[in-house]
């Protein structure tokens, strides 16, 4: 099915099941610990041996020699495979760093060996016996130091965020020079780690030339293709299975060393092998969100109208890598005739930088929305009014291209009213409660809506139940539930009559989970398959498919009513289709919007920041399940608090690695850091987006929230920190004297 004209009315509009805040259908499994994650598949691949991955101990150079004699002789050891045993393996299409093979070390904790043993304890012990001799080479580990050598580079995150290397509209420099009020400031964001709770893990089993991996992947089709490419085997010989994923946030979008080394270990051992990356490997062995240094210039008239806006971002990555697309939202968020964005990329020898939740927008808005707050102050305007004055209903670079829906102003106005914005003092540092300085901050949230081709197979059984199969993944996003809701709505069934099976490469290829495209895209694919199944049912029962109504487990037309299951017969009835898209995404700009509001208290003596209240007002199309969608937003807000106040991979610039590579050193928000969070979804349907009339919502919640926290800290203290995260040491020497 092709979606190339805006949606009209369709069965989803009934909203009997879709749009209802139903509990997740996988809830009873997850809350009882019976949902099996990759490492826990005792039900598959008999006789599993244990693998243990060893990471390189240098940041750049090569492996001169590895002595594995002791490891091989250690109790229980079945096989030892080292990177020197083979030439460098192929590289997946989505990978920047090589995952295994050869002597060259591109980054710290790059995998250099896997030990396979009868038990985890034996494999770990033997891995510690491997003696490796390295030849170190000087590396480039300091982004600021490499800045002069950085090159302009275009990029597309593949997740809805992208920009040309340099993008100009009008005459930025001329307009900026003429502007009555200007801002020219530089902001920085650190390297961040996904730190998902489930480490990357894989069980691999070979049967002849056929390889099956039970793994933890957001993108089944990408993973299968890239594992085949890396190992140099045909993709049809590889099966990926990933029904439950313990968090990803972009860290499991791409093939990683766990799957490669489980496959190599299993081959060498002649046994199925299971392994997980240990927690200390994850920060340096896998990918991270790259640090940025961003310069923003804004020029405006005294009326607050932006006449010139420029956003330039520098980030680093390994050779052949990409820049963080931090300027992407600045092309679309505010009006202004004269515009400039630029992306610069420095070559660094740190681990691979890549997508993390809302790549581009998350760090980009942390800078842009702080700059907007500063600019509003220079103009003597309320920050909400300043944003409203500069709202645009069309793509500012292409005025003929409207937004399909854009309710940013409504988000801001409703948020201001609900949050009590009128109680904010325009002058910072005015509100004190004992030793606490209290402030309010806000920011706009923005994230593009992407639609991706997505397929599904729907099977009707004789008992009137339906099974949906698609390689879509549920990484905590609620895919199981919204897919079941979609099929139930389309087939006129209660939710409990729908079974959903996900994450298996034997199922039709879906959008997968990333870039907040999964919810809308995968359900649209299920919609397409259900349309086909409805037609097949109508045909078989002798109904005119245009007249047939599917409701209450019955198919009805005129005064005739037949149980749905009757169409299935003994053998069942199966339909498969995929949703593809025409050029609506080119003709209309599809984006999602939010207003983020935060209250913080900063301790006047210690500089400790506590978040007291949070509200997000979101305009993101039809909300397929308000309960799970709200969870997506509060979770992203939580990660945004982390980015604003604590998260930072500390770079050792001498040896070239992230030092704080575990969950004690890399601080993420815990219960005590997060207050009750409020989310309001505006009533919105977007018929331009898909027949679901939905849009992405999983990343919108992190977009802008970090700046809202930062702006609240400024409002509380009068101290502007442009270097994230805003830790207490950056406030301490400037805090006001205690009374």
Give the shortest CB-58-to-other proteins separation in angstroms: 23
How many angstroms separate the Cα of 467 from the Cα of each of 462, 463, 562, 573, 576? 12, 12, 20, 11, 12
- In degrees rounded to 5, what are phi and psi of residue 138? -65, 140
How many angstroms separate the Cα of 282 from the Cα of each of 42, 93, 129, 354? 24, 21, 21, 14
Q: For the chain, what is the radius of gyration of the CA atoms?
A: 27
Rank residues 342 and 629 by Cβ distance to other proteins and give the closer one.
Answer: 629
Give the shortest CB-717-to-other proteins separation in angstroms: 23
Rank residues 347 and 663 by Cβ distance to other proteins and give the closer one.
Answer: 663
Task: Please give the full DSSP string across 85-102, using - where no structure is assigned.
Answer: GSPPPP--TT-SS--S-S
Rank residues 290 and 635 by Cβ distance to other proteins and give the closer one.
Answer: 635
The three-state DSSP-derived secondary structure of 358-397 is CCCHHHHHHHHHHHHHHHHHHHCCCHHHHHHHCCCCEECC
> How far apart are the C-alpha atoms of 166 and 331, rounded to whole Å?
11
Give the shortest CB-281-to-other proteins separation in angstroms: 11
Give the shortest CB-37-to-other proteins separation in angstroms: 6
Give the shortest CB-661-to-other proteins separation in angstroms: 11
Give the shortest CB-308-to-other proteins separation in angstroms: 37
Rank residues 89 and 276 by Cβ distance to other proteins and give the closer one.
Answer: 276
Give the shortest CB-204-to-other proteins separation in angstroms: 17
Burial label for 166, CB within 10 Å (0-12, 13-18, 19+), is: middle
739: CB partners within 8 A, 6+ apart:
none
> How far apart are the C-alpha atoms of 159 and 75, rounded to whole Å?
47
Rank residues 121 and 320 by Cβ distance to other proteins and give the closer one.
Answer: 121
- In degrees rounded to 5, what are phi and psi of residue 31? -80, -15
Q: Which of 719, 624, 715 is nearest to 20 (CA)?
A: 624
Q: What secondary structure letter does DSSP report for 458?
A: E
Answer yes or no: 547 catalytic: no
Q: 204: which strand partners?
A: 213, 273
Q: 448: which strand partners?
A: 591
Tokens 């990356």, residue located = 277
> How far apart are the C-alpha atoms of 555 and 155, rounded to whole Å?
50
Give the shortest CB-473-to-other proteins separation in angstroms: 11
Q: Give the other-Cβ count within 10 Å of 656's Cβ.
A: 26
Give the shortest CB-574-to-other proteins separation in angstroms: 28
> How far apart are the C-alpha atoms of 681 and 700, rounded to whole Å?
12
Rank residues 691 and 701 by Cβ distance to other proteins and give the closer one.
Answer: 701
For residue 535, the SS3 value is: helix
Give the shortest CB-639-to-other proteins separation in angstroms: 6
Rank residues 531 and 611 by Cβ distance to other proteins and give the closer one.
Answer: 611
Classify strands 238-241 and 210-215 as parallel, antiparallel or unpaired.
parallel
> How far apart are the C-alpha atoms of 588 and 550, rounded to whole Å?
33
Rank residues 199 and 525 by Cβ distance to other proteins and give the closer one.
Answer: 199
Classify strands 609-619 and 677-681 as parallel, antiparallel or unpaired.
parallel
Rank residues 347 and 495 by Cβ distance to other proteins and give the closer one.
Answer: 495
Catalytic residue among 207, 684, 699, 737: 699
Q: What secondary structure letter does DSSP report for 722?
A: -
Percentages (nearest 5) of helix, strand, coil residues in the chain = 30, 30, 40
Give the shortest CB-674-to-other proteins separation in angstroms: 4
Give the shortest CB-412-to-other proteins separation in angstroms: 22
For residue 55, the SS3 value is: strand
Report the run of H or E that residue 204 belongs to, with start and end: strand 201-207
> How far apart are the C-alpha atoms of 70 and 695, rounded to whole Å?
56
- In degrees rounded to 5, what are phi and psi of residue 75? -55, 135
Rank residues 611 and 719 by Cβ distance to other proteins and give the closer one.
Answer: 611
CA quadruple 242, 247, 251, 253: dihedral, nearest 10: 40
Give the shortest CB-670-to-other proteins separation in angstroms: 4
Rank residues 284 and 578 by Cβ distance to other proteins and give the closer one.
Answer: 284
- In degrees rounded to 5, what are phi and psi of residue 349? -105, 25
> How far apart are the C-alpha atoms of 657 and 345, rounded to whole Å?
19
Residues binding other proteins (CB under 8 A):
23-24, 26-37, 39-40, 42, 119-122, 125, 194-199, 244-249, 276, 278-280, 475-478, 627-628, 630-632, 634-639, 662-664, 668-672, 674-677
Burial label for 399, CB within 10 Å (0-12, 13-18, 19+), is: exposed
Within 559-620, strands assigned E span 560-563, 573-581, 591-603, 609-619
Rank residues 432 and 627 by Cβ distance to other proteins and give the closer one.
Answer: 627
Q: Number of helices (H) and strands (E) in the chain: give both, helices first.
A: 16, 35
Rank residues 46 and 671 by Cβ distance to other proteins and give the closer one.
Answer: 671
Q: Which of 216, 211, 229 is nearest to 276 (CA)?
A: 216
> How far apart are the C-alpha atoms of 362 and 640, rounded to whole Å?
8
Catalytic residues: 699
């Amino acid at each position: 099915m092709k979606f190339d004209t805006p949606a009209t009315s369709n069965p989803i509009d009934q909203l009997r099941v879709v749009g209802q805040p139903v509990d997740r259908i996988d809830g009873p499994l997850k809350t009882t610990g019976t949902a099996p994650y990759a490492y826990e598949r005792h039900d598959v691949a008999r006789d599993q041996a244990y693998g243990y991955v060893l990471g390189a101990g240098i940041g750049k150079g090569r492996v001169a020699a590895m002595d594995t004699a002791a490891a091989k002789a250690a109790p229980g050891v079945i096989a030892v495979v080292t990177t020197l045993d083979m030439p460098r393996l192929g590289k997946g299409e989505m990978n920047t760093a090589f995952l295994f093979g050869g002597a060259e070390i591109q980054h710290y904790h790059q995998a250099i060996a896997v030990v396979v043993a009868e038990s985890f304890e034996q494999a770990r012990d033997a891995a510690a016996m491997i003696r490796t001799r390295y030849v170190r080479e000087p590396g480039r580990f300091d982004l600021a130091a490499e800045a002069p050598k950085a090159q302009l580079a275009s990029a597309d995150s593949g997740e809805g965020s992208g920009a040309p290397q340099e993008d100009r509209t009008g005459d930025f420099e001329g307009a900026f020079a003429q502007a009555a009020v200007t801002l020219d400031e530089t902001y920085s964001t650190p390297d961040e780690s996904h730190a998902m709770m489930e480490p990357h893990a894989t069980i691999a089993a070979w049967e002849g030339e056929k390889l099956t991996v039970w793994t933890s992947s957001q993108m089944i089709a990408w993973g299968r293709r890239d594992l085949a490419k890396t190992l140099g085997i045909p993709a049809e010989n590889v099966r990926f299975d990933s029904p439950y994923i313990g968090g990803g946030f972009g860290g499991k979008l791409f093939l990683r060393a766990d799957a490669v080394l489980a496959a190599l270990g299993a081959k060498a051992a002649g046994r199925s092998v299971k392994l997980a990356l240990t927690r200390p490997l994850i920060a340096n062995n896998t990918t991270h969100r790259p640090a940025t240094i961003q310069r923003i210039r804004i020029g405006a008239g005294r009326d607050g109208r932006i006449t010139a806006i420029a956003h330039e971002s520098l980030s680093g990555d390994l050779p052949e890598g990409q820049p963080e697309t931090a300027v992407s939202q600045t092309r679309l968020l505010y009006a202004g005739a004269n515009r400039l964005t630029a992306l610069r990329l420095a070559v660094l020898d740190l681990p691979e930088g890549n997508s993390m939740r809302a790549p581009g927008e998350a760090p980009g808005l942390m800078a842009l929305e702080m700059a907007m707050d500063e600019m509003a102050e220079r103009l003597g305007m309320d920050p909400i009014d300043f944003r409203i004055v500069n709202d645009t209903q069309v793509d500012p670079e292409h005025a003929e291209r409207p937004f399909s829906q854009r309710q940013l102003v409504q988000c801001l106005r409703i948020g201001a009213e609900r949050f009590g914005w009128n109680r904010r003092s325009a002058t910072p540092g005015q509100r004190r409660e004992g030793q606490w300085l209290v402030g309010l901050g806000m920011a706009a949230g923005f994230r593009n809506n992407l639609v991706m081709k997505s397929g599904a197979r729907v099977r009707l059984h004789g008992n009137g139940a339906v099974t949906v199969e698609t390689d879509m993944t549920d990484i905590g996003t609620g895919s199981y539930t919204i897919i079941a809701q979609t099929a139930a709505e389309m087939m006129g069934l209660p939710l409990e009559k729908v079974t959903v099976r996900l994450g298996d490469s034997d199922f039709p290829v879906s959008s997968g989970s990333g870039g907040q495209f999964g919810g809308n895209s995968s359900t649209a694919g299920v919609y397409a398959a259900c349309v086909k199944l409805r037609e097949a049912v109508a045909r078989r029962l002798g109904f005119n498919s245009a007249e047939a109504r599917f409701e209450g487990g019955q198919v009805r037309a005129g005064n005739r009513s037949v149980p749905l299951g009757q169409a299935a017969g003994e053998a069942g009835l199966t339909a498969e289709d995929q949703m593809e898209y025409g050029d609506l995404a080119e003709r209309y700009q599809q984006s999602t919007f939010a207003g983020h509001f935060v209250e913080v208290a900063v301790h006047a003596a210690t500089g400790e920041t506590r978040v007291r209240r949070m509200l997000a007002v979101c305009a993101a199309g039809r909300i397929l399940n308000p309960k799970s969608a709200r969870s997506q937003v509060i979770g992203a807000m939580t990660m945004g608090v982390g980015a604003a106040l604590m998260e930072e991979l500390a770079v050792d610039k001498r040896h070239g690695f992230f030092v704080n590579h575990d969950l004690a050193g890399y601080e993420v928000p815990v219960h005590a850091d997060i207050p009750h969070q409020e989310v309001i979804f505006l009533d919105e349907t977007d018929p331009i987006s898909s027949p679901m009339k939905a849009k992405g919502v999983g990343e919108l919640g992190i977009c802008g929230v970090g700046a809202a926290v930062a702006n609240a800290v400024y409002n509380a203290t009068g101290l502007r920190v442009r270097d994230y995260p805003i830790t207490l040491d950056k406030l301490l020497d400037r805090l006001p004297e205690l009374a």
